[in-house]
Chain A
Amino acid sequence: MIMKFIHRFASPPFFYRFSAKAMPWFVGLFLLFLGYGLYGGLVVAPADYQQGESYRIIYIHVPAAWLSLFVYMVMATSAAIALIWRIKLSDVVLISSAPIGAMFTFVALVTGSIWGKPMWGTWWEWEARLTSELILLFLYLGIIALYNAVEDKRIASRAVAILTLVGVVNIPIIHYSVEWWNTLHQGPTVTKFDKPSIHLSMLLPLLSMAIAFKLYYGLALLARARNELLQRERNAGWVKEMLKDE
């Protein structure tokens, strides 16, 4: 039953049609969560008692950093599925996610840098959290470059899947860097399950922004995946049928 659904969902014509219908919903929900997150974070939430108003960068910096890791984990999962079960769509999800992950990593680095200047007195420091996140950006760019460099897209997809899985070692390093090393970057505020050291009026907009960024990822992924799919399937019957009907 579940496998049947997966196969149906992963079939290119179904996915292509489904994505067109789903995208407006993603836009709507994204704007909803973004609206509440921005209002709650920039207007309602009080200033931080140590960092003043500058801490409000947290509402984009932390969700972007979370997504930079989340997108990579989705890619690694897709890579494993692609290598084991050879489901076409997983290759598409993998390569379509890479530019989005790179964008989130770039945003996390830049907003962190802008936040660091007034708080730490420097734009950049070669410490564990920042350096491992920068390596993540290079990983994303390397994956995109490798895919574009190999002519045969089936070979390119396999190579990219393997590179993605190798790069997974960087993910726990980023996550635990603030605990393993004595970093300039502050420790976790939210993911301490026992007791988050952040007030609810700050936490709720932050979570709302995180959901908004996740919805954005879904939206951007659909937009990219259907391009990739159309490109790959351009000689397939369903594409010709669809284009003829217009």
Chain B
Amino acid sequence: MNSLSEFLHMGGYGQYVWSAYGITFVAMLLALLIPVRQHRGLRKRLKKQLARQAKSKN
């Protein structure tokens, strides 16, 4: 366990190193999850629109 706490300590720079990595991965994850969610919403909207159009034609 000593080596793990040493690893996290980063020679006294732990707060800098880990906050930099944390912010980076949160930003990258968000920038990927947002378009994936948007894709689902967009398809749902388009499907509804298509159903409405089919209805109004009949």
Contacts and interface: CB of A to CB of B under 8 A. Distances in A.
Indicate whether A and B interact. Answer: yes
Interface of A: 42-43, 47, 52-54, 56-57, 60-61, 64, 99-100, 103, 106-107, 110-111, 114-115, 117-118, 216, 219-220, 223-224, 226-227, 230-231, 234, 239-240, 243-244, 246
A98 B42 CA distance: 20
Which of B13, B27, B36, B42 has the largest count of A CB atoms less than 10 A from its CB? B13
Interface of B: 7, 10-13, 16-17, 19-21, 23-24, 27-28, 31-32, 35-36, 38-39, 42-43, 46-47, 49-50
Contacts of A231: 42
A64 B13 CA distance: 20
Contact of A117 (B16, B27, B42): B16
A234 B50 CA distance: 10
Contacts, number: 84
Per CB-CB distance, the 10 closest pairs between chain A and chain B, nearest first, are A53-B11, A54-B13, A53-B10, A223-B35, A111-B20, A114-B20, A103-B31, A60-B24, A224-B35, A52-B11
Majority secondary structure, A binding face: helix
Which of B10, B19, B24, B46 has the largest count of A CB atoms less than 10 A from its CB? B24
Contacts of B31: 99-100, 103, 220
Given A47-B11, A220-B35, A115 B16 contact: yes
A198 B13 CA distance: 21
A227 B27 contact: no
Contacts of B42: 227, 230-231
A197 B15 CA distance: 27
Contacts of B35: 220, 223-224, 227
A234 B45 CA distance: 10
A227 B39 contact: yes
A134 to B, nearest CB: 17
B23 A226 contact: no
Nearest to B21: A60
B23 A110 contact: yes
Contacts of B24: 60, 64, 107, 110-111
